[in-house]
Amino acid sequence: MKSVVFAAGEGTRLNPLTSTRPKHLLPLAGKPLLIHIIQEIASAGIEEIGIVVHHYKEKIINILGDGSIFNVKIRYIYQDKLDGTASALEVSKNFVGNNDVLVVYGDVTATRDIIEGAINLFKEKNPDCVIVGVEVKNPEEYGVLLVENGRLKCIVEKPKKEEVTSNLINAGIYVFSPAIFKTLNKIGYSPRGERELTDAITMLSKKGSVLVFDGGGGWWFDIGRPWDYLDANRFFLKKIRRSVKGYVKGYLEGEVFVGENAVIMPGAVILGPSYIGSNSVIGPNSVVGPYTYIGKGVSIGSLTSISSSIIMDYSEIGSGTIIDESIIGEKVKIGNNVLIKSTVSSDETIKTIIKNRIIDSRRKRLGAIIGDRCVIDDRVILYPGTSIQNDTIWRESNIFHLG
């Protein structure tokens, strides 16, 4: 069996973060999401993996190489036209050949147990397809699986909340026989202008040849929006174990990873689970964590508080600054006494801008999303849901507040 991972998409709902990198390389607990996926596939015994690429493909290739560091062989498959997941699998036909294939979307989380469970069901029952289902609290936002006696009846895409009859949704993980390519030939364009892999699965389900592997819940995240990314960060940080490779002059509480040559200054407190990257410096009397990822080469001043956040490589955070539930890009400079608020006093949920539209996050706690190389001046207040594009200078008079 081979595996194909889809990593060609642009991930525009995660802008500004994905305007300079593919979403599949967003860091989670010290490793890009795509590396987490590859390691789980490899641990399930699959040795040949095809990565479908397009957006920033060079960055993916530079990080993954030929796959030897993961004990697998990686082949890169270029999807010239980004016209859907059916096309993404179709361009992989020569790589797959006459083999069965595990397909994983490159922006979802997967585990070895789930992968092995789906493969074992496929080998035992010999269907045309096994689709992995996952139980979620908000099924109306995804493709809901309707199942009868273990077989897929149909996929209902984003039903109205009052019409939802199941919390089992499509996880974006499948096992196919090579016969899938004959079905893909019959797939046209959906109303949203894409050739959908789920249309091929629906076609197969009408023959009763699609089985559903129920993966339960709690392990799956779709890294499609900033708050999904923050949730996934929390999930992966829960897996880390204490490891100190740097210099700790402050105090560590719980499971904390401290990378090589990182320095935790006197009086600083790191609350686990948290990750401090190599060559980063946490200033005196600052508090970092819990659920916080600090990339490599990050500098944090004194008396600063950072919680439930992601700070990417080579960013600089001043003294007396408060950051909560936020995502800070690479090489960002945040001044002294900056306040990034994450809650509002009313009962309303927090809104933000995605693809030039105001979107309700349905959350009561969400800070800022700040793109790469931004500069935030001293004493600036950023309100919940603030999104700042790359290379922006944000001064005190530019207070941004989404009502």
**What secondary structure, in 3-state letters, does 242-254 show?**
CEECCEECCEEEC
Indicate the pairing of strand 143-148 with strand 151-157: antiparallel
Residues 6+ apart with CB under 8 A from 346: none
pLDDT of 353 above 80: yes
Q: Which of 22, 173, 68 is nearest to 112 (CA)?
A: 173
SS3 track for 241-295? CCEECCEECCEEECCEEECCCCEECCCCEEECCEEECCCCEECCCCEECCCEEEC
CB 14 within 8 A of CB 229: yes
The pLDDT tens digits for 301-315 are 999 999 999 999 999
b/e per residue 343-376 (b: at least 16 CB within 10 A)? ebeeeeebbbbbeeeeeebebebbbbbbbbbbbb
The DSSP-derived string for 54-105 is -TTHHHHHHHHTTSGGGTSEEEEEE-SS---HHHHHHTTHHHHTTS-EEEEE
Percent of the chain predicted with pLDDT > 90: 86
Per-residue model confidence (pLDDT) at position 369: 96
Alpha carbon 263 to its chain centroid, in Å, reads: 28
Residue 402 pLDDT > 80, yes or no? no
**Per-residue pLDDT reduced to its tens digit, 151-206:** 999 998 888 888 888 999 999 999 999 999 999 999 999 888 899 999 999 999 98
Q: Which domains does the chain have, with CATH numbers?
A: 2-224 (3.90.550.10), 236-398 (2.160.10.10)
The answer to whether residues 252 and 234 touch, using CB atoms and an 8 Å cutoff, is no
Residue type, 163: E
Tens of pLDDT, residue by residue over 129-141, are 999 999 999 999 8
Inform me whether the pLDDT recorded for 317 exceeds 70.
yes
Q: Residue 401: pLDDT above 70?
A: no
Determine the pLDDT at residue 398. 56
Q: Is the dihedral of CA 106, 108, 110, 116 positive or negative?
A: negative
Could you give the maximum distance between any two Cα atoms of the chain, in Å? Answer: 66
Q: Are 290 and 306 in contact (CB under 8 A)?
A: no
